[in-house]
Structure 1
Amino acid sequence: MPAIAIVGSGAGLGLSIAKVFGRHGFDVALIARNEEKLGGFTARLATDGVKAVGFPADVTDPQALVGALNRAADQFGGIDVLEFSVPPVDFVEALDVTVANVRPQMECVCYGAITATQAVLPAMVAAGTGTLLFTTGASSVVPRAAFGSAGIAGAALRNWVLNLHEALGEKGVYVGHVAIGAWIEGTPAPAGVVTMHPDDIAAVYWNLYTTRDQAERLVTA
């Protein structure tokens, strides 16, 4: 069976992506820091008939992240799809940006994505097939002062992902970017803001995986 590794697995979007791919015959590797929560996620997916295994790792620890992805590849006989959706942490507005508060954004969002990609890409290139999907907030595409430090990291990741899309196309590896410009149900949202159900957003990832013809998609409510 094909396998998807979801880095940054959470109870919202990550779980929904796991469900949509799992229902189409994928085994699922869930990677996140909290081992207890991963156990809960795998149990919930099992009730939907989805085989999932949790591999705890912190994306800011390159050795741990690579180790988790390697164990997942051993468990499932390879990784066919990598989905990276680690949210920004403690972001600040544009006027408050400093080197110190941008650094953790880059380590989580950008450096973590590079590390995860380097762990799975050689096998994909060797096989001549594979999919890499990356998630950022919409501020990576449409700058918003309120998301100053998060937008810097997201835009850096987006630039690299679009370059990968171009560079890997002839090697059989599809690369796609999803920029989410909506609040996801189940997460704290400002009063009056329209939200989207994570299952609806997850459907975008499946569409990109199956069509393989778009470098990115901006999702708005």
Structure 2
Amino acid sequence: MNTLAVVGAGPQLGMSIARRFAREGFSIALLARREEPLERLAAMLRDDGHEAAAFPADVSDPDSLRSALRAAEERLGGIDVLEFSPAPTKADMLARPLIDASEVTVESVLPEFDMYIRGGITAVRSVLPGMLSRGTGTIIFTTGAGSGPMIVPRVANVQIATGGLRNWALNLHESLRERGVYVGHVALAAAIGHGGPAAEPDTIADAYWKLHTERIEPELVYDALPDDWQVDQVADKFTVDERV
């Protein structure tokens, strides 16, 4: 049985991705910070007849993340698909507010680097050797579309980090595409669960399954924003998800 690890799992998109892959026979490893709500999500998957387990981890702490991914592989087997989509909780946003491009400081960017860059590199380094030894694997990074295709000045401190993660993902795709490992980046412009059918998490999750199975395009720009939405609304909605 193949295994999917969702790093940054939450009750909306993360769970929809988990369910989508579970329906195809995958075991599911859910990783996020808070053990109790994370275990509730895993229990929901088990209640539906899927193999799933919770592995608490702080994405910003390399030792914590490495240990959780190691525990996931020991319990569920080698990780065949890594989906990396950390996002700040509402509490995080109070402690680390969004900073406009004209007000960015080094101090405002460093925590975002810890989450996205350090976390992303740590996660990949934990699972990539196994993928390469098996000759197959999938890594999908998810960031807000402000990481590249969309300009949202008021979220600049986050986008400096997510833009770096996107750049690495695209280069990693090119580096690994002849070695059996597919790498993709999803630039997500959506208020998940709001704004119409295309913004529903189950619909978005289908796009992840397509990336995994088709293994061609290095990037999917997923735009599910209504035409009349303003940049401020985008910043408020797609940078804050219900994370655990």
Whether TM-score is above 0.5 comes out as yes
Per-residue deviation, 1:111: 1.1
Per-residue deviation, 1:197: 1.1
Per-residue deviation, 1:49: 2.0
Per-residue deviation, 1:143: 2.4
Local SS of the residue matching 1:183: coil
Considering Cα pairs closer than 8 Å and 6+ residues apart, tell me whether 1 or 2 has the greater RCO: 2
Measured in 1, the distance between the counterparts of 2:162 and 2:85 equals 11
Among candidates 210, 218, 221, match of residue 221 of structure 2: 218
Per-residue deviation, 1:77: 1.7
Among candidates 118, 131, 144, match of residue 124 of structure 1: 131
Per-residue deviation, 1:109: 1.2
Measured in 2, the distance between the counterparts of 1:172 and 1:49 equals 30
Local SS of the residue matching 2:177: helix
Measured in 2, the distance between the counterparts of 1:121 and 1:111 equals 15
Unmatched 5+ stretches in structure 1: 187-192
2:201 matched residue in structure 1: 198
8 Å contact kept, 1:135–1:180:
yes
Q: Does 1:101 find its partner at 2:114?
A: no
2:11 matched residue in structure 1: 11
Per-residue deviation, 1:76: 1.3
Measured in 2, the distance between the counterparts of 1:149 and 1:49 equals 41
Measured in 1, the distance between the counterparts of 2:212 and 2:87 equals 21
Q: What is the TM-score normalised by the length of structure 2? A: 0.85
Amino acid of the structure 1 residue aligned with 2:68: A
Among candidates 166, 172, 176, match of residue 180 of structure 2: 172
Measured in 2, the distance between the counterparts of 1:105 and 1:212 equals 29
Q: Does 1:43 find its partner at 2:46?
A: no
Measured in 2, the distance between the counterparts of 1:42 and 1:181 equals 27
Unmatched 5+ stretches in structure 2: 225-244
Measured in 1, the distance between the counterparts of 2:158 and 2:202 equals 24
Local SS of the residue matching 1:66: helix
8 Å contact kept, 1:30–1:54:
yes
Per-residue deviation, 1:125: 0.9
Q: What is the TM-score normalised by the length of structure 1? A: 0.93
Measured in 2, the distance between the counterparts of 1:138 and 1:101 equals 20
Alignment RMSD, CA only?
1.4
**4+ long deviations beyond 3 Å:** none
Per-residue deviation, 1:63: 0.6
1:140 matched residue in structure 2: 147
Measured in 1, the distance between the counterparts of 2:50 and 2:206 equals 16
Per-residue deviation, 1:7: 0.3
